[in-house]
Every structure is written in C-alpha cells, then in structure tokens.
Amino acid sequence: MKLKETEIVQEKIKTLEDLPSPNAIPVFGNAHKTPPKEFNNVLEKWSQEFGGPYFWKFFSRPVVVFNEAESVKEIMRDRPGVFRRFSKVKEVFNEMGIHGIVTAEGAEWRRLRTALAPAFNNRSLESFFPEFCDITERLMFYWKEKCQNGKAFDITADLKRYSVDITCVHLFNEDLNTIDNNDDTFHVSIDIVFSAIYRRLNTPVPYWKLIKFPQDHRLDKAMKKIEKEIYNLIARARKKLENVDDLSQVKGLMEKMIVARAEEGSKRKLSDKEITNNLLLLMLGGEDTSANALTWMFYFLSRYPEIQEKVHREVASVLKDENLPRDKNHILKAFPYLRAVIQETLVLKSPTPFIILETNEDTVVDNIMVPEKTIVIVMNRLSDMKRYEIDHYDDFNPERWLDIRDGKYQLKPNSNHNLAFGYGPRLCIGKSLALIEMVLTAAMMVKNFKILPPKDKDFEIKEYFDFLLRPIGLEVKIAPRS
C-alpha cells in the first residue's frame, strides 16, 4: 500500500477515545455503574444511548462494546486467533482447579475440540435418542403427578434435574434419574459454582486468596460435591468397559475418550486429568443453559395462549396418540412452528446475552483500532434484535421466522442463525444437544399439558445476570390436557 493511501486509511480509523462513552470517575472509571446482576441491562442501556460501538472503563482497563451483528460476527470469526476469552475467566477457573475446552486457547483448544466434537455430532446424538425420550417421558409422569393439587411450582428446578439426567446419559452413558430421586446435588452445586465464578470475575481484588467468607466456603463444598460425583461416574464407566468386548459399541463421551487413549496415534487421546476436567466443564455448561431457555419459553407460552394452542395443534397432528416425539426425524426436522418459538425465545432471552473477550494483538474492527489486551464485549442478544428489527424483549412473535406455503408453516431459510450459541469456530459445542432437549421437552409439554397464564396479566418476570441470564421467581401452573 502506498504511503498516500495509508494516510487516507489511517484518517478513517478511530481510536477508542473517539467513541462515545458514559461519564467516568477517577480510579473506578465506570465500574461503579455496573453492578454485577444488572450488568447486562446497563450494557444494553448504554448501547441504546450511544448507538453503535462505545467505550467505557472497568477501573483502569479499557472496554469496547460492539452491538452490530456484522461486527460481532467478525470478532467471533477471529477466535481463537485475534480474540480470546477474557483472561480473568481462565484465571478464576484455574484457581478452582478447572481447565479445559472452555478456558483453553489456540492450539490447545483445537486439540481439545478435535477430541470432544465427534461426541456432539448428529450421528452420536441420535444413538442416545431412546434414552433422551425415556428421560423426557419420566419428566412428563413426574409433572402429571405434581400438578394434581392445582398449585404453581418452580419449573426451573425440575428442568435443571432433567438437563442433568440428559447430560449424564450423554457424557457417561448412565442415567442418574435425579427427577424421581429429587436429587439436587448437581444442579444446586452448579448454581453455586456459576454464581461464584461471576462474583469473582467482577471482584477487582482476589480477597479469597487471603481470607475466605461463607460464600467461598460454599463454593469449596459445591466443587467437592461435583468432583466426587464426576469421579464416581468415571469409575463406574471404567468398570463397565472392563466387560465390553466390542469397543466400537461404546456410547458415552467418557467411554469414548477412555477407548481413544488405547488407540495408536489417536488425535483424540487425552490424559486422565484432561478427561476429568473437560467432563466437569461440559457438565457445568450443559445443565443451566437449556433449563433457563426452556423456562423462558414456557413463560412466554403461558402469556400467549393463542401461540401455545398453535404449537399444541402442530405437535398433536404429528404425534397422534404418542406423548412425545420418539421418531428421530420428528425431533430433528418436524414442528416448524415449535422451532420458531424456540428461535424467538433464544433471541429474546438468550442464556448468554453477551460474551466478554480480550484482544491478543492490535486489531481493527469496524474501522476502530483496538489495542492488544483490550477487553471486548460482544452483545449477542442486542445484535440479533437489531438484525431482526425486534424492538422489545417481550415482543414475542415466532411467526417472524416463518413462511406459509400451501397453507402450511415453514421455517424461513437460515432462520436458526442466531447468536445465542455464539458464532464461528468457537460455536458452542453443545448446541445440537441443547436444541434436541428443547424440542423434546417443549413437544412433550404442549402435547400433555396446558401452561396456564398468570392471573395478573401485567405480571412480568424480571431477569438478572449471574454468569447466565436467569429469571427471578418464575413459577408456572400447568394442567393435564384431557
């Protein structure tokens, strides 16, 4: 490039200080305006106030926020090269003794992705459809008994146990049946871990290295419970393999990783520590996201009975006398209206409405020079809402994702390309599993139950951020369909 051309280009490039920014104060910058549980709301409010990219300071560290879809996708495409996960995430996880595919970067991440990804492809997931359906039917019977008294109940806790059972079957080829056993060991402990991680990410001074408060002791106990359960599951999987002659028939991710260690030259070979850590991370990641997304979806269906009835008619017309979809083609391809409801929920109430990253080197995004080690926040939810011209988080309209052809609903092309699961090389490895869970559970729910609307039509569930976007105090009332 000629010097003259270079000068012209440089004139167009902005620095962070050229961007709009909220007023800051010495030492704290804008950190005092970003309480952790309101963090997402503050970022979205500033996005609406300043428009496109804007700049703020977390104490002395520069933070740039991108909320336009093209910029967000460009940044995500450049992972794990130009951008990495916020380095403090790895630091906090490592302090807790966890390191794996979530915290790894560069060549290490690629190696772990190669080892783990085959367990999440369609062929592998399809082999678990019978078990997934059995667990979903178990939840149905549990709810039929539970709703006999006509009272509302906390559906999120049940969905978390359901997700634990699904995840354990997939990872360990073992059904824990936490639904019937009312076993909250995993999901309560996981909630404690997520809250602790988020709290520590927002704490400028790592006080827990010097002194521990009750919340830190709760974290230690929760981690010990989770690790004990994981170690027990691994031990049982190893014992089971001792009696398996045909190793090609193993199903669970844990079993496959153990088998891969015995294969000469296998690219999927991981150490015992790597196996344990990655199973722990996958367990953490697989439990909360699906449960929270389903909770929000059932909340919307309770508020929009006419949409709920459309989903019911669609599901009932396919399933006939069946209680839930057991045909893999139904799970993967049927129910366009239901899939539109899922898509709408994932956009409006994405479990991960933003992602915090960091630059590995100086780079230019949207004609803005972003220096090395700058904190970069990409606003997944807001960029999706802008892209699809959605004005409000309660503007629930699944038909925006549908066309009508020959009197039937069909999903529009590329209608599932939202950013709820990320984008680019580091797209969430569990996306397909999460969508299968959502289709199975939602189809079972609307086929067998009515989700009753709140008595107060103005009742609105508040959201808060605690590593994931969560609802506050959401209870629903369901009634068996005749």
Calculate Rg over the CA atoms of the chain: 23
* CB within 8 Å of 460: residues ≥ 6 apart: 394
Query: Looking at domain 3-476, what is its CATH homologous superfamily?
Result: Cytochrome P450 (1.10.630.10)
d(C-alpha 345, C-alpha 465), whole Å: 17
Phi, psi of 140 (to 5 degrees): -60, -50
The residue assigned the tokens 């790592």 is 206
- In order, the DSSP letters of 134-161 are HHHHHHHHHHHHHGGG---B-HHHHHHH
Residue 241's Cβ-count burial label (10 Å; 0-12, 13-18, 19+) is: middle
d(C-alpha 93, C-alpha 85), whole Å: 12
Phi, psi of 411 (to 5 degrees): -65, 140
Q: Which of 29, 32, 75, 86 is nearest to 374 (CA)?
A: 86
3-state secondary structure of 49: helix
Phi, psi of 256 (to 5 degrees): -65, -35
Task: Spell out the alpha helix ranges (H) of 394-477.
Answer: 431-448
3-state secondary structure of 478: strand
Delimit the domains of the chain by residue range: 3-476
pTM of the predicted protein model: 0.90
Instruction: Dump strand ranges (E) for 67-183.
Output: 83-85
Per residue of the chain (482 residues), what is the pLDDT tens digit?
Answer: 333 444 445 557 899 999 999 999 998 899 989 888 888 999 999 999 998 899 999 988 899 999 998 999 999 999 989 999 999 888 988 888 888 898 999 999 999 998 888 889 888 899 999 999 999 999 999 999 988 887 877 788 899 899 999 998 998 888 889 998 887 777 788 888 888 888 888 888 889 989 999 999 999 998 888 888 888 888 888 888 777 777 667 787 888 887 776 665 566 678 878 888 888 888 877 767 888 889 899 989 998 999 999 999 999 999 999 999 999 888 888 899 999 999 999 999 988 899 999 999 999 999 999 999 999 999 999 999 988 888 888 889 999 999 988 888 898 887 677 888 889 999 999 999 999 999 999 999 999 999 987 666 566 677 888 878 888 777 778 899 87
Tokens of 278: 């990655």
d(C-alpha 312, C-alpha 481), whole Å: 10
How many other C-beta atoms are found inside a 10 Å radius of the C-beta of residue 359?
20
pLDDT at 401: 93
Q: Are 373 and 363 in contact (CB under 8 A)?
A: no
d(C-alpha 374, C-alpha 56), whole Å: 11
Q: Are 253 and 279 in contact (CB under 8 A)?
A: yes
Three-state secondary structure of 208-270: HHCCCCHHHHHHHHHHHHHHHHHHHHHHHHHHHHCCCCCHHHCCCHHHHHHHHHCCCCCCCCC
Q: Are 44 and 465 in contact (CB under 8 A)?
A: no
